[in-house]
Structures are given as structure tokens and as C-alpha cells.
Structure 1
Amino acid sequence: MRKLVAGITIVAVALLAACGGNNNNKHGNDKKAKGNVNYGGVFRVNEVSDFRSLYPLNITEVVAHRITNQVYEGLVKLNQEDLSVEPCLAERWEISDDAKTFTFFLRKGIKFHDNKCFPDGKGREVTAHDFKYCLDKVCEAFPENQMFWLFKDKVKGANEYYASTQNGKPLEGGVEGIQVIDDYTLKIELNYPYAIFLKLLSHSACWVYPKEAFDTYGVEMRVNCVGTGPFRVKNIKEGEAVVLERNPEYWDVDEFGNQLPYLDAVKYTFIKEKKAELLEFRKGNLEMVFRLPLEMIKDVVGELEDAKKGGNIPFVMQVVPAMSVFYYGFQHKLDPFKDKNVRRAFNYAIDREKIVTYTLQGEGRPGIHGIVPPFKGYDAEGVKGYTFDPEMAKELLAEAGYPNGEGFPKITLQINSGGGDRNVQTAEVIQKMLKENLNIDVEIE
């Protein structure tokens, strides 16, 4: 099958958050703590697409990541304000003068969630041996591991260990460059200095889980999560709901010394239609709606203004730039997209600015300077991307052997359901542009 899965827009996100909540979301054990902090309650949020896998080495979509980043943790994490690297389960680290050796010092007393994978059902302490096990797993060849690319070529011995697992004869000692110094000290050696290695270690693939869990559940770790995070899995009913409950032994505290997290639970539901999701929010059954349907934003804004005039504001709306990219990728290993000129023709045939202005109603930024969103320290404007040039598109397609689209096979554009109506609307506009500008037929799937 020929698939078109090319950078289009960088989007802004509109979200609604309920104010004050709803009586159904109160619990008898609500209490106040230092700093006027409130404990208790369930945060309810909806996802419009299902998760695929919750196993750290097989998390390849955002829904699973939003769930699991409450359950698992790694050596380091990213600051949510500026994306700088912060300590997590490693309280500190040292980097050698040649920037090729990283030594991590783990916090003591961190425990895995209670789970039946342990002999007594009680979570045990996390040690450097657990990180060695999990980071070695990143370099093993098995179907559930999609993340070897993170360590490939970079970590000393990663390639050799991966090859040995492909041959069914794993090297004794695992990855040479990942070494346990003692129970609370882990050393990682690189083949060469890699400036963003610490950020790389914040990736979900580098989260820690116990060997007992993998031995017990194997491939079923996709729905059996055992981590160290602020929440642990209480119940999973695929396609309907995931409920995470508060981890009573969580290690972290807030600025006042209060144990985190504050919430009793987080509940994810999976209503597929954005309009139905918004209805549930209006009923008070959700605390937040992420990314509103474009055609409903004006109605919501009007409703908010009316509420303000009456002195009763049931929700607030936030519109913020998102580190999110609409993109379509090519199956470039097969014809016709093996030909670079075909791929370039498609890029020149798409009017990104028109898509943002009319289809997305201004909620985004045209990806004409590459597909990386602008951020501090990055000169996005200096990157030369693709502008709309239908004549250039036609010339390139002709050079590839398809003048006016003649002889070009019908292709399939596969889209995911996670973007709601805007994914379909954007795909239909692109389908029309490719037909008008290149005379190419596209089927949306």
C-alpha cells in the first residue's frame, strides 16, 4: 500500500478548565495542609483516542504518554516551564571533563508501587540495578521495544549488545557502557560527547520498572504498569476508562513540605467525539477539555462572556501556543515516494497558510520554516522550508515521470483519530489541493 502519512502547521491549543468542580467530585477525606493546600478529589479528563501500549519501550503516541507520565519516572525529568533538565530519581549527577561519562547518584528509599508481581505484593526499593536492567532493555531486540534508536551509536556497547540479542545470544553483562557502581550509583559511558544526552534520559523509554514486572507480565505490560510515580494504576478498562489512584508512599513533597500528590485519583475516559466530550464537560463530568472543536470555539467564548456578566463563571478558557505539530509523512522506502522529486512536489503543492487561515481559523502557524515550533534560542525564521508554489510542484512531478499526474498511482492518506474533526477537515483540504495542483487522487483512511 502506498501511504502518505509532510509538515503542515504548528498549532495553538484552546482548553477549558472547570472552576470549583462539582459535588460528585468531593471526598470525605478532603483536608487542608500547609500553605492552604487542599488534598482530595478526582481529576477527570477525556481522551478522544485510545492508547496503544503503556509499556515504556512501546509508547509511541501522546495518549499513552499522558497516562504513564503519572505512573513512571526516570533518572531525570524536564521542568514544565522551560524544559530544562531537573533531578528526579537521581538526586544529582556528575559529568566527566570529556563529557562522555555520566555518573548518577540515586535517592534512597524510593519504592515501586505495590503489585502482585512481587512475592509479598509490596513494592521494594529501587536501586541502580533496576536502572541497569531497564536501560539494557532499551538495547534489546524484541517486538515491544521501539526505542533502540535513543541509545544506538551513542552509548558504549549499545550496538554490540543489540546485535547479540538479535542473534539470541545476549552478551554477558549487558550493555558495556551502563554500569552499576553500587546500589545507589549508576555510570553511563558514551562513545562521543552528546550535548542533549541528559534530555534524552528524560524520555519515557528511560523510565524505571522492576524486572519482576516484566517477568510476570511480559507483553501484557502494555496494561500492567509498575512504576514509582505519584499515581499507580487502579483499574484499566480499554476503550472506556483508566483510573489512577494516589501513591501513598510517593517520595516527593511540595515547597511547604506537603507530600505529593494532592489528588486522590485521576480518571481518563475515552469519548471519541469532541462534541460529546464538551457536553460531558458542561454537565460537570470532566474537569478539563483539551483542544476545542474549531467550529465550537465562538459558542464557548460567547457562553463564557454571558457567564461573566451574570457573575457566575463555571469555567475558564486558556489559549496557549502548543509544542504540537500537524505533519504528514511519506512511506519513502517504496514507490512513488522513493523519488525525492515526488516528495518535494507534494510539499510545494500544499498551501499551509491557507490551511491555517481558513481551515484552522487562525489557530496555528504555517510550517514554512521547517516543522520545529519556535522557542527560545532557536532561530526558526532562519530555517528555509517549503512555500506554496504549484508551478514548481508540477515541474518536479514531471521530472519524476508523472507529467500532470499521469500514471501516478492512487495513494492512501492515513490519519489518526486523536485530532478530532480538525484532522479530517485538514486532510480533506490537502486531498483537494493535491488534486487541483498535481492531478493526484488521494483516498483518506
Structure 2
Amino acid sequence: MNTSKFAVLLAFAFTLLYSCQEEKSSESDSESQETVSTEIKKGGSLRLAISDEVTTLDPKFVYSVHASQIASMVYEPLVKFNPKTLAIEPLIAEKYDIADSNTTFTFTIRKGVFFHNDECFPGGNGRELTASDIKYTFEYYCKQEAQEMSVAYNTVFHGNVVGLEEYVSGQSDEISGIQVEGDKVTIKLSHPNADFLKQLASPSASILAKEIIECKGLNRGAGTGPFKLSSNGPKGILLVKNEKYYLKDDKGEQLPYLDTVSFKIISSKIDQLISFEEGEIEYIDGLPSGKIKYMVEENIRNFDEVPPKYVLAHEPQLSVEYYGFNLARPYFKDKRVRKAISYAINRQSIYDKILKRQAYSPGQAGIVPPIKLFKGYDFDKVQENSYSYNPEKARKLMAEAGYPEGKGFPKITIEYNQNDQNYKVAAEIQEQLKKTLNIDLQIEAVSFEKKLENSNFGRSDIFRAAWVGDYPSPQTMLLLGYGKNVPKSMDKPSHPNSMRYVNPEFDKLYEKAIQASSEEESYKYYAEAESIFMDEAPVVVLWYYEDNQILHSYVRNLYFNEIKYLDFRQVWLKEWTEAEYKEYIKK
């Protein structure tokens, strides 16, 4: 199959996937999404593949994409994203009011929301959620133990909520900016933040029960979500329908439609594809485009027939692959060294040779992926301080920093979490830096958990990382450079700014962007902050992600988006009939 024909087929399949599901009214909290068929088929199991075991579902410590996807169906935040549009919708909070120029957020808590049954509750019966659970949960997330790295503290609450620092430092036994009155919770911010609702929609801001926290039962998954955790082991995770779930569709039918959702651990993408073709799983996320092209060529009838058997989609992601410098190391304090290394890396070669062009693009812009999600963002301004392969400039900067031809530069280590692609990239960069700058690097593979620990505690020289945005805003990417999240002590973890990059001018612009009165104004300040970040080169941006998804066409209402948020509440399974499909085509 030639490239143009494959592109047309991919575009057609992408259109089919999205248009098989009618637009949902953003005003409705009945979760309605009409399809061509008026008869929804309830029950059944949706089976997905994931590559690695999920070690924790505690929202306080959920870092990986798959853990977030699973946790978001077991636990729930106050509000959620519409999986198709990424607009904010009510969830545990049935409504909310925003006042005082985006500084006062008042949430009315929905009645009839129950936690899943769990032995932590008296008699094992889950109780009804109350407004007090919200305050207790948020204070739990912000209580800083000596060695803890709370995702929500750093990505949602820190620098936002009135009284937070007094609580964290022990000067107060509560966060004064979070108050409960009856069924209402009011959160007061220290400054305007138009993205605060988006931050609250992330899985890391999910609401928990005091009983579950105190008896350390969070890995058992006793949340309020549409699914309950049935099992979690080396073979995968099984979620089962929450029969007491509070949401219904627009016809008054109980959600969710599915009986179970299972996540099978299949480490190899080739093995995932085999399982998909054999009907053992319905959906694969992140399949390399080369593998999809091969599958299309071998199974063209399954895509061309009416109705099709398989559906393809591809979506640019709010996600970046990068190498971070540990700026606590003396040899990385000189930005000329960091810039030299960044210029010495041939990203295009990595993109072509190792990735086989299976990404959105090489990392020749900034830390914010240059995708259409951010219309009006000044990517051109950022690119003025970005990096492409320039060995002459790299050698010149290294010499200016006092290391001509690499002389006197210490031997350093690149640390990465073990997998074949990460190894190939590290080995390629090792070779490129030796050839261009004559510096010696070791490369070391560790577990994902060890890599995360080492980078956050400043034990790595250079570390491999990938960051997926939690919400649709440049803020979620530029949080990586926010210096006020960096602890003064090396004994405390620094996350997500694991580079320990601190620049007061960056912080000032970042904060101005958060407090801006319009998206246009915020984009202006974010782009200025990003330009500084890229000029300072605390990271080497390698590439931007693009996901390819493939699924059986009988999977209805499963949407894909730039932040990899999956919502299974209204997913249902039903084969298309030829008549039904043709009726849909007419419309």
C-alpha cells in the first residue's frame, strides 16, 4: 500500500471513530451521548492492554498514564473533563460558582454519592460522601511527610490556595482557604487562576474517605467511581461495575453500561497486536504506526468493509520526551554546557532511525508541544531559543565553558527506565556526544520507580523523562520549570521540577500567565516564560508524542484526546449492522 493511500485510510478511520458518537450537550450532567442506534446494549467487558504493572492507585502517588486512567474510573474529583471536548463538567460537585475574579470557587456537593464498600467502613458498607470529605482529602494531599512526593500538592494546590503554606509549615492545623458549610465547599485562592477547575479535574485531586485514608486502604480502590477495583496483580487489573453509581444517562438508565473493564498486562506491542487480532482485547493504545501500517496492509478488508471491523485513530499528544539535567551538579550550573549538549544532539536522526518517525515531531520547538490545541500560542517566539543539531556551535560553547574538545569534563551518567527504545536513545546520545564534544557518558537502566526516586532526590546526572499534560493548558507543561516548587534541601524530593531549575524571571512570567484575565494574555506570558526556559536549557527536548489507537468498531462512545483521558462511563459494545451503518453515513 502506498503512503498516500494509507494516509487517506487512516484519515477515514479517524473520522469514523469520532463521528460514530454524536455530540454531547456540555450543559447536561446526565452524561448523554447519542449514537445512531437508539438501543444501547448494556453489559459486556471492555478489554485493554497495558505494558506495565500498576503498583499503586493512591491518587496522592499516581504518576503513570495507565495508573491515572484506571484511578480516574475508581476515584473521582469534584469535576471532570468531557472526554471529547475536554470541557469541564460537574461530577461529585453538581454545580459550582466562580467569583471574585477567579479567586473564589464554591462547589455544591451532589447528594446520593456513596463510597464503594470496603472493610475500612463500619460493617464494610460504603457511606455517603459529604462536603467534609473534600476538605479532609485536600489536606491529606497537602500534608507533607519527610520523603513523600504528593502529585496534587505540586500540581494543584501549591502556590494557589489561601493558608496552604501555614498548614504545610505546621503553623495551622487546617488550610484556612478551604471551608465547608452544609453541602457547600468554598476554596479561596491567593490569586486569580483561570485553570484551577482544570487542575481540580485531574485524578490526583480525587476525593477520598477519611476511613480509607486512616486504615491505609487506598490501593483497594474504595472510591465513588463508576467501577470498583476487583483485582490488581501481575497479569492485570479488573474493574467491575459499581451498581450504586449515582449518574444516569438522559433516559434515566443507570451508568455505567459495561459490566467490567479489564487491563491486561502485555509488555510487547507485537504481542498486544496478536491479542487484538485474535479477539482477546478490544483496544490498543500507543501502537507504533509502522505496526499499524503493516496490519492495514495485511487486513485491508477489515478496514474497508461496510461496516468496518477495525477502526484507527491518531492524536497528537500534550506530551514530551526529554532529558533533564541535575542543576545541583557543579558542571551543569554553567548554561553553556547545557546548551552545548542540546546543540550536539541530532534529534532528527533519533526521530528517523530509532523512532522510525513514529512520533508527532522531533523536539525542535519548546517544552510545550506545538499542537493545534493551543491556537494563538506564539510557538515562533519560543522556537527562537530552541535547539536543532549544530555541532560547530556545540563545540564553541563547550570550549567557552572551559572544556575544549571535552578536556577536563567529568564522566557522567544518563539514567533511564529500562525498555528497548529508551536504551537505544540513550546509546545513540552517548555516541553523538562522544563524537561531537568528546565527552564520556555512561548509560544506566533502572526501574521506573528507581529512576523517579533518583531524579526527584537529585541523585542522577542526566535523567530520561516524559511528561503528559494533566489538563489542556501550557501551564501543565511549564510547571516543569516553576522554581517555587523546588525545595531548598536536597533531602526533600523536587517534583515535577526534578532539574531543580530556579529562575525568578521565569517564575514571575509564569505567575502572570496564571493570573491573566484572558487566554490571549496568558499565552503571551507563558510563551515569554517558555523562551527563558529554553534559553536556559535545563532540559534537552527530544520529541513530541503522537498516539495511534486501534480498536474493534463495536466499541461505542470511547473517545480519545490530547491528555490521554479515557472515560468508560458511557462506553458500550455492539456490532454495527450494515443497515445501521448506512443510515449513519447518510446523516
Could you say which TM-score interval applies, normalised by the shorter chain? 0.7 to 0.9
C-alpha spacing 1:439/1:304, structure 2 compared with 1 (3 Å): farther
Q: Distance in 1 between matches of 2:306 and 2:85?
A: 35
2:213 aligns to what?
214
Runs of 4+ in 1 over 4 A off after TM superposition: 306-314
Query: What secondary structure does 2:120 align onto?
Result: coil
CA contact (8 A) 1:101 1:187 kept: yes
2:164 aligns to what?
158
1:287 aligns to 2:310 (yes or no): no
How much does 1:86 deviate? Answer: 1.7
Q: Distance in 2 between matches of 1:442 and 1:50?
A: 31
CA contact (8 A) 1:233 1:245 kept: yes
1:406 maps to amino acid = K
2:399 aligns to what?
398
1:435 aligns to 2:430 (yes or no): no
Root-mean-square deviation (CA, aligned residues, Å) is: 2.5
Query: What secondary structure does 1:77 align onto?
Result: strand
CA contact (8 A) 1:136 1:178 kept: no
How much does 1:275 deviate? Answer: 2.0
C-alpha spacing 1:263/1:403, structure 2 compared with 1 (3 Å): same
2:110 aligns to what?
107
Query: What secondary structure does 1:326 align onto?
Result: strand
1:180 aligns to what?
180
1:171 aligns to 2:169 (yes or no): no
1:245 aligns to 2:246 (yes or no): no
CA contact (8 A) 1:138 1:145 kept: no
How much does 1:133 deviate? Answer: 0.3
- Select the residue among 63, 74, 78 that pairs with 2:81: 78
CA contact (8 A) 1:57 1:144 kept: no
How much does 1:308 deviate? Answer: 5.0
2:535 aligns to what?
none
CA contact (8 A) 2:303 2:309 kept: no
CA contact (8 A) 1:294 1:360 kept: no
Please list the CA deviations of residues 287-313 of structure 1 after superposition, one character each: whole Å capped at 9, or x if unmatched.
111122455343212123254578895
1:226 aligns to 2:229 (yes or no): no
Query: What secondary structure does 1:253 align onto?
Result: coil
Query: What secondary structure does 2:325 align onto?
Result: coil
How much does 1:74 deviate? Answer: 0.9
1:327 aligns to 2:322 (yes or no): yes
- Matches for 1:263-412 after TM superposition, within 5 Å: 263-293=258-288, 295-305=290-300, 307-308=302-303, 314-363=309-358, 364-373=360-369, 374=371, 375-377=373-375, 378-384=377-383, 385-412=386-413
1:100 maps to amino acid = T
Query: In proportion to residue count, which structure has more helix?
Result: 2
Query: What secondary structure does 2:133 align onto?
Result: helix
Q: Distance in 1 between matches of 2:190 and 2:362?
A: 38
Q: Distance in 2 between matches of 1:330 and 1:46?
A: 33
How much does 1:89 deviate? Answer: 1.0
How much does 1:112 deviate? Answer: 0.8
1:90 aligns to what?
93
Q: Which has the higher contact order (CA 8 A, sep 6+)?
A: 1
CA contact (8 A) 2:50 2:266 kept: yes
Q: Distance in 2 between matches of 1:138 and 1:36?
A: 42
Q: Distance in 2 between matches of 1:427 and 1:229?
A: 40
How much does 1:79 deviate? Answer: 2.1
1:199 aligns to 2:198 (yes or no): yes
CA contact (8 A) 1:51 1:63 kept: yes
Normalising by structure 1, what TM-score? 0.84
CA contact (8 A) 1:43 1:287 kept: yes
- Select the residue among 218, 242, 254 that pairs with 1:259: 254
C-alpha spacing 1:440/1:259, structure 2 compared with 1 (3 Å): farther
The unaligned stretches of length 5 or more in structure 2 are 1-9, 18-36, 446-587
The unaligned stretches of length 5 or more in structure 1 are 1-11, 20-33, 165-169
CA contact (8 A) 2:395 2:436 kept: yes
C-alpha spacing 1:87/1:396, structure 2 compared with 1 (3 Å): same
Normalising by structure 2, what TM-score? 0.64
Between the two proteins, the alignment pairs up a number of residues equal to 403
1:236 aligns to 2:232 (yes or no): yes
Query: What secondary structure does 2:122 align onto?
Result: coil
Query: What secondary structure does 1:328 align onto?
Result: strand
1:365 maps to amino acid = S
CA contact (8 A) 2:239 2:261 kept: yes
How much does 1:366 deviate? Answer: 2.2
1:403 maps to amino acid = P
Identity of aligned residues (%): 38
How much does 1:439 deviate? Answer: 2.0
Please list the CA deviations of residues 358-394 of structure 1 after superposition, one character each: whole Å capped at 9, or x if unmatched.
4323332122220212223333333222222211111
How much does 1:435 deviate? Answer: 2.2
CA contact (8 A) 1:348 1:386 kept: yes
How much does 1:233 deviate? Answer: 0.4
- Select the residue among 59, 63, 72 that pairs with 1:60: 63
How much does 1:416 deviate? Answer: 3.1
Q: Distance in 2 between matches of 1:308 and 1:209?
A: 44
Query: What secondary structure does 1:70 align onto?
Result: helix
1:157 maps to amino acid = G
Q: Distance in 1 between matches of 2:411 and 2:167?
A: 42
How much does 1:109 deviate? Answer: 0.9
Higher mean alpha-carbon deviation, 90-99 vs 141-150, is at: 141-150
C-alpha spacing 1:176/1:314, structure 2 compared with 1 (3 Å): same
1:402 maps to amino acid = Y
Q: Distance in 1 between matches of 2:208 and 2:102?
A: 27
CA contact (8 A) 2:303 2:310 kept: no
CA contact (8 A) 1:139 1:175 kept: no
Please list the CA deviations of residues 185-207 of structure 1 after superposition, one character each: whole Å capped at 9, or x if unmatched.
00111111122111111122211
Q: Distance in 1 between matches of 2:193 and 2:52?
A: 35
1:104 maps to amino acid = F
Query: What secondary structure does 2:416 align onto?
Result: coil
